[in-house]
A and B are shown apart, each in its own frame.
Chain A
Amino acid sequence: MWTRPWKMVEGFAVGAGLVLVGLLLQFSTGPIAWNNLSFPVNFIILAGYILAMSLVYAFRNKVYSFKFLSSYASAIPALAYAVALTAIMGLTKQVPDGRPASDPLGLSRMLSFWPFVLIYIWVSVIVAQATINKAMHFKWRDVPFMLNHAGLLIVMLCATLGNADMQRLKMTIHKSSPEWRATNDQGKIIEMPLAIQLKEFEIYEYPPKLMLVNGKTGDPIPKDKPATIVVDSTFKTGELQGWRIKLNKCIDEAAPLMTRDTTNYLPWYSSGAMTAINITATSPDGKVKRTGWVTCGSYHFPYQVLSLDGKISIAMPEREPQRYLSRIELMTQDGLHAFADIEVNHPLSVEGWKVYQLSYDTSMGRWSETSVLELVKDPWLPYVYVGLGMMMLGAVFMFLSLQRRKETKE
């Protein structure tokens, strides 16, 4: 060992050294506090990193360990350590940001765990050295290599250093008045340069479903994988575990009308209305026949099941949202006044912020009068996207260049 040229054994030894140093740092200084890396600290670190990488490259012929850094013998062990530590992260339940680790070593906060971070820095240094090396001896056939490596380097650096500059805030908006205050992860209230008022909250639900439940316990049948039928616009009859179901009437927005001995459902277009379905169910042997209403209930009314033979009933589970969106009115400090829709997968971009539909008042369901938005500002995002784009191009080139490799061989 340690006779030149160094091989993978030496690479693994370097990795073991980094893990050891990381553990010592973990015990002496505690986990890494990423929040301290916000502007301008991250810029200083980036400048220092670039300088250090240039120096390491410049002196690679004088210092052997610097030269070793851009070799395969160093890259393979580094990747192996990254696999191992990331797999440990995958096997350990991670605690949410800002909470203390739930284990003495700090494995449940892997992103702040020194050995993990040192190994990733090692990987980034190797990638940086390999990139500089190729850039200094540039050839056109190295373009895929450059895209893959430089792209990955940009993503790793910008995502890590930019993390502390990223703001993720929650804002609950109402119909009654505009909201300009948002809260961060720690629950701190932050005044925003923009105000949002909910004009309308719209929810589109999947068609109602029917399923059999145990009349006593309320458990679905079969318990693990309930059998369901979807009552969509084309539904007339169906079968549920042998029971024949015939649809008599379906009211999308209904309210119960109770008399002394029966409950009837009538159309009722107002907050708290629910889906009501009138069905006739016939038992598998045809002996039992029941007709009645089944509803899923709402925040205002209880649900209703149709009892079949005392042991089992037909029920309607809560309807699942297909999509939901907030129609909002928006005002910013710079004088912008606009109306917009925000939906899951369709965030709104305004003055450097991205506004996402996050949630709503689920206890009110489709009648929710509030909507929860997430506001995200990530000044480093464009650079991360440049890196991601380079990696995608690199992957495409890797696929395309395969044929050429074969041809040159032939």
Chain B
Amino acid sequence: MSWNHFPYFALVAVLLWATGAYAAWKNKKHSPLVPLLQACWCFLVSLLPCGFHSNDHLCAPWAKRACGIRSSCPLPLVVYLRWRYKWILSFSTILATVFIMVNVLKPEIHNKTLMPALQSPWFAPHVIVYMFAYALLGAATVMAIYLLFIKKTPCTADEMDITDNLVYVGLSFMTLGMLMGAFWAKEAWGHYWAWDPKETWAAVTWFAYLCYVHFRRSRPYNLRPALYMLIVSFLLLQMCWWGINYLPAAQGTSVHTYNLS
């Protein structure tokens, strides 16, 4: 099996995933088809990192992409099984498809090497957990935009429940990812928190979502400011995610800006 086979596997996986998402929309809540299809997909995707690379020099962006794909499969399934949110399946299908397209259309991202500090057992959990947190918080932002600007009628308690739950799950995963990063940083760089630009923006993002959580608890019926807070928080998150790669203040000082040549 080589990299050239990847698109076929990806196609099958996306089809399965999409069928699952469709079945979830269309059909009875408890159709066994949905989890079954998801499980197939999880199995397929779990093959990715081991199967498609004969050489063991997994590279930074490639590994990140692979993590991205993998993160978007089993975890949304957990969310779906727990809260029965149908849209999470469609959402993660789109997310996974985007990642797959990136992999198929830009194969050169695989031709990269992974610097020694990134070779750690912490790498995969740190990135996977963060990607999942970002995906959920992204979904919460979509929800906020929908409720603020698209939906004409006032939002219901159920809709706010969905938004809150997304943020809670996203925030707990973000916390886990951040703290894993702290333990890893201690092993790799000698300190658990060094106020590196990436870490600074991670703190900003974390505080911003904490702000939302506390606001919701204090003013449960004051919805619009809360929803605006979600959008602002997600903009701050973009800074943390990729903005610092272009931020003059972070150039040359951040150990997180990987200059890929």
Contacts and interface: CB of A to CB of B under 8 A. Distances in A.
A392 interface: yes
Contacts of B224: none
Interface in B161-176: 161, 165, 168-169, 171-173, 175-176
A371 to B, nearest CB: 13
Contact of A76 (B108, B215, B249): B215
A89 B54 contact: no
B201 A90 contact: yes
B187 A345 contact: yes
Contacts of B191: 166, 168, 376, 378
B171 A398 contact: yes
B6 to A, nearest CB: 17
A378 B179 CA distance: 18
Contacts of B156: none
Given A344-B117, A384-B192, A90 B204 contact: yes
Contacts of A403: 82-83
Interface string A76-93: 100110110011011111
Contacts of A402: 165, 168-169
B207 A388 contact: no
B211 A83 contact: yes
Interface residues of A, number: 60
B214 A83 contact: no
A244 interface: no
Interface stretch (A177-185, A220-228, A286-294): A220-228
Contact of A72 (B173, B192, B203, B217): B217
Contacts, number: 146
A94 B201 CA distance: 13
Nearest to B243: A90
B190 A376 contact: yes
A207 interface: yes
Nearest to A166: B191
A121 interface: no
Contacts of A395: 171-173, 175-176, 179
Interface in A23-81: 72-73, 75-76, 79-80
A383 interface: no
Nearest to B118: A345
B147 interface: no
Contacts of B108: 225, 227
B192 to A, nearest CB: 7
Contacts of A322: 57, 113-114, 116, 119
A252 to B, nearest CB: 16
Most buried by A among B114, B179, B239: B179
Contacts of A226: 261
A320 interface: yes
Contacts of B168: 398-399, 402
Given A86-B204, A344-B117, A76 B211 contact: yes
A91 B175 contact: no
A293 to B, nearest CB: 23
A217 interface: no
Contacts of A388: 179, 182-183, 192
B190 A356 contact: yes
Given A82-B207, A321-B116, A93 B248 contact: yes
A111 B195 contact: yes
B211 A345 contact: no
Contacts of B214: 72, 75-76, 79
A94 B251 CA distance: 11
Interface string B177-205: 00100110011111111010100110110
Given A76-B214, A90-B239, A399-B172, A320 B113 contact: yes
Contacts of B111: 228-230
A86 B193 CA distance: 14
Contact of A234 (B54, B120, B172, B215): B54
A406 interface: yes
B193 A159 contact: yes
A207 B54 CA distance: 13
B39 interface: no
Contacts of B200: 86, 89-90
Nearest to B201: A90
Contacts of A80: 211
Contacts of A234: 54-55
Given A381-B192, A403-B82, 17 more contacts: A72-B218, A79-B210, A83-B204, A83-B208, A90-B204, A94-B253, A168-B190, A206-B113, A376-B190, A376-B191, A388-B182, A388-B192, A391-B179, A392-B175, A392-B179, A394-B175, A398-B172
Interface of A: 72-73, 75-76, 79-80, 82-83, 86-87, 89-94, 110-111, 159, 166, 168, 206-207, 225-230, 232, 234, 317, 320-324, 343-347, 354, 356, 374, 376, 378, 381, 384, 388, 391-392, 394-396, 398-399, 402-403, 406
The 5 A-B pairs at the shortest CB distance, nearest first, are namely: A72-B218, A395-B175, A344-B116, A79-B211, A395-B172
30 contacts: A72-B215, A73-B218, A76-B214, A79-B208, A83-B211, A86-B203, A86-B204, A90-B197, A90-B200, A92-B249, A94-B253, A159-B193, A168-B190, A207-B57, A225-B108, A320-B113, A321-B115, A322-B119, A344-B117, A344-B188, A345-B116, A388-B182, A388-B183, A388-B192, A391-B175, A394-B175, A398-B168, A398-B171, A403-B82, A406-B165
